[in-house]
Each structure stands twice: as structure tokens, then as C-alpha cells.
Amino acid sequence: MVFSSIEKVQDNLKAHRYIADRSLATVIYLAVSLGKPLLLEGEAGVGKTDVAKVMSAALDTRLIRLQCYEGLDVNTALYEWNYPKQVLRIRLEEGAQRSKEDLGNIIFSEDYLIRRPLLEALQSDQDQPPVLLIDEIDRSDEEFEAFLLEILSDFQITIPEIGTIRAKHRPYVVLTSNRTRELHDALKRRCLYHWIDYPTFEKEYQILVAKVPQVREVLARQICGFMQVVRKMDFYKKPGIAETLDWASALIVLHKDELDGDVVQETLGCIFKYREDISKMEAEIMGKKIDLEKVLEDYLARHFG
């Protein structure tokens, strides 16, 4: 078993270039061994969705993803009959001598069923259960949340024309939420919970080196140090790890080996996604409110002697 101990979880995720701290590794380990869904919350861009992706890679199994949005309903999440195909079949059968019952059984068989992500996760034939990622559950509405409860507690669904479909293996379920609204207690109660925080300097450095191997050591440290400072400041949308990685890649493409005021200013678009935040940061750099060089030196000195 790939995830047979907490250390193995951590190592395996690391082998797939995901740096998980002990707490996250413990929760993933428990979710896999207990067969409980895992609810991940955290700010945008801290790697919630990536947990599911990397889990499926490490477990060598399929990733089935359901992106939530308001108005998401059973037909798009679970299953739907392929009506045009059914109609065509009826037409083809017009000349044939087949009883109505038989025809009914044919067009309401699994061949005419369109599997949506949830059904697919339940019916997966692989030896390994798939990873089911229910992304941004906070965007769906209460109706869908209630429906999800049923699936997550029994891992079975009933299709009137076919019968009850039970999961062969319980899929590994990962739910993510950006907390645009509070989730219902009943849903939370069914899940193991973990909050993914912004990374520490060390963790971010490890992630950066793992994900963008081309980055030079000095630049990587400067980037991470800079990010730590920026996240302590007040912005509408603070940069996450996703932004760090984007920025590092951009700097490499631009052949920059070190950070300075100009470089930062030119590439602010990688770090901030709101105009207000960009102009605020520009003002801070221009007005020397934050002394960039000093900030970077301080950080390097503190962390690397």
C-alpha cells in the first residue's frame, strides 16, 4: 500500500513534487485508511486542488473531478439519459418485431446512460478506487450540498430505471472550499477537516525548488522571503503558492537571477491579480516604504545565517 503510514504519505507526495507538512500528511493518511472524505479549506492558491491531483498520481489511480457552481444539479453531477440516442434506437426498431417491454429495457439500459462524475466515481472498475475531487463546494447551492450528503454517507445511488448502484470501492473523496460561505454542519461532520495555511518560508522554498527546478538558489530564497513579507501586508487578495510559482517561472523566462526594485515592479502582474493591489504595491516600492533590499537581506540572514 502506498499510503500505509504517515511517513510514506509524506514521502510519496514528495516524490510527486508536493510538499506536505506532518499535519496534512496525517489527515490524508487517515482519510485513506478510514475511507472518510477529506475537506480542505484555505485561501485561494495554497494548493488545495493539488492535493487531490497528487493523491491520484501517487496512488496510481484515476482522478475524477467535479467542479461546483451555483445551480449544479443531479443531471450534470450524477447521470442523465442519452435521449437523442434513445430516440434513434426507437426509430431503428420501428420495423423490427420486438415487444415494447424489450425495447424499454434496451433504451433504459446502461448503454444509454451518460455517466457524470459522481456516478463514474461510484462505478469505477479499476482495482484501485479513484480519487473524486469535488472542487469549490462552497460555490454550489444548499440543494446540491444536501444531495451530496446522501452520496457521501452511503456511496450508493438509485436510478429508478436500473436500480441501486453501489460503489465497488469507496472512492477517495477530496472536497475543497474557498469559504465564500459556511458549509452545512452535516456535511462537515462527515469529513475530516484540514485548513491549509500560507506556507512558511522553509516550506515555500522546498515547494519552489521542487516545482520549478530551474530556479537558482539565491533567486528562490529572495522570492520566498519577499512573499513572506508581502503576505504580512494588507492586500485585497494575498498571493498564494500558485502566484509564487508563476512569478518564479516568469523571472526565469526573463533571465533574472536576482530581485531588485525594477524587476519586481515589472512583474507585479504575476503576484497580484487586482489593479488596486498592484498600485498599492507600486506605491510602497516607489515611496521606499518597504526597503526591498533590506527585507531580502534580513530574511536571508535570519534563515541561512
Quickly count: other Cβ atoms within 10 Å of residue 276's Cβ: 11
Per DSSP, the three-state class of 131 is: strand
160 makes contact with another protein (CB under 8 A): no
With vertex at residue 160, the alpha carbon angle to CA 156 and CA 163, rounded to the nearest 5 degrees, is 50
Cell matching residue 24: 496534512
Q: Which residue has the cell 436500480?
A: 163
236 makes contact with another protein (CB under 8 A): yes
36 makes contact with another protein (CB under 8 A): yes
Q: Provide the 8-state DSSP code for 259.
A: -
Among 9, 63, 118, 191, binds another protein (CB under 8 A): 191
195 makes contact with another protein (CB under 8 A): yes
Among 9, 12, 18, 29, binds another protein (CB under 8 A): 29
211 makes contact with another protein (CB under 8 A): no
185 makes contact with another protein (CB under 8 A): yes
88 makes contact with another protein (CB under 8 A): yes
Which has the closest alpha carbon to 61: 133, 114, 4?
133
The DSSP secondary structure of 229-247, one letter per residue, reads HHHHS--SS---HHHHHHH
Non-local (6+) Cβ contacts of 74 within 8 A are 147
158 makes contact with another protein (CB under 8 A): no
Among 87, 218, 254, 283, binds another protein (CB under 8 A): 87
67 makes contact with another protein (CB under 8 A): no
Q: Which is nearer to another protein, 125 or 182 (CB)?
A: 182
Least distance from C-beta 241 to another protein, angstroms? 18
Query: Contact 42/180 with Cβ under 8 angstroms?
Result: no
Non-local (6+) Cβ contacts of 168 within 8 A are 123, 124, 125, 129
Kindly indicate which of the ranges 45-53, 126-134, 191-199, 260-268 contains the residues binding another protein, using the contact rule CB under 8 A. 191-199
Greatest CA span in the chain, whole angstroms?
87
Phi, psi at 247, each rounded to 5°: -65, -45
Q: Which is nearer to another protein, 134 or 212 (CB)?
A: 134
Q: Which residue has the cell 508563476?
A: 246
Q: Which is nearer to another protein, 84 or 305 (CB)?
A: 84
Kindly indicate which of the ranges 58-66, 179-187, 202-210, 265-273 contains the residues binding another protein, using the contact rule CB under 8 A. 179-187
Q: How many CA atoms lie within 13 A of 250 on its CB side?
A: 17
Least distance from C-beta 174 to another protein, angstroms? 13
Among 60, 73, 217, 298, binds another protein (CB under 8 A): 73
Quickly count: other Cβ atoms within 10 Å of residue 262's Cβ: 10
Query: Contact 42/21 with Cβ under 8 angstroms?
Result: no
Question: How many residues of this chain bind another protein (CB under 8 A)?
Answer: 41
193 makes contact with another protein (CB under 8 A): yes
201 makes contact with another protein (CB under 8 A): no
Site residues, another protein (CB under 8 A): 6, 22-23, 26-27, 29-30, 33-34, 36, 39, 41, 70-71, 73, 75, 80-81, 83-84, 86-88, 90-91, 94, 141-143, 179, 182, 185, 188-189, 191-195, 236, 276
